[in-house]
Amino acid sequence: EDKVVQSPLSLVVHEGDTVTLNCSYEVTNFRSLLWYKQEKKAPTFLFMLTSSGIEKKSGRLSSILDKKELFSILNITATQTGDSAVYLCAVELQGAQKLVFGQGTRLTINP
């Protein structure tokens, strides 16, 4: 069974801290790994990773994939209260186009 596991499930930090969110996966036919941010409604896209070792960066957010260890991390530096959200990791399966989601990490940034 295809599986995506995120940790921690919940994280509370102070504004300005740096956080690292983890995502591990076991799937039959990996195509890509995606990170999404979900606030009150539908998820918004952050990153798509297909190759190992290549860091993707967008402002204070960055992400990297390790296809040997079947693992990805999402880093957020200098966190702000607006970063509070649920961060979802999903793996896209080859051929099927469908996404298998992890449970999500609920991140709370306190002022």
CB of 43 to another protein, least distance (A): 5
99 sits near another protein (criterion: CB under 8 A): yes
96 sits near another protein (criterion: CB under 8 A): yes
CA distance linking residue 54 with residue 73, whole number of Å: 12
Cα distances (angstroms) measured from residue 5 to each of 2, 55, 81, 82:
10, 21, 25, 25
Given the complex with another protein, which of 25 and 36 has the nearer CB atom? 36
- Return the range that interacts with another protein (CB under 8 A); candidates 14-22, 37-45, 65-73, 74-82: 37-45
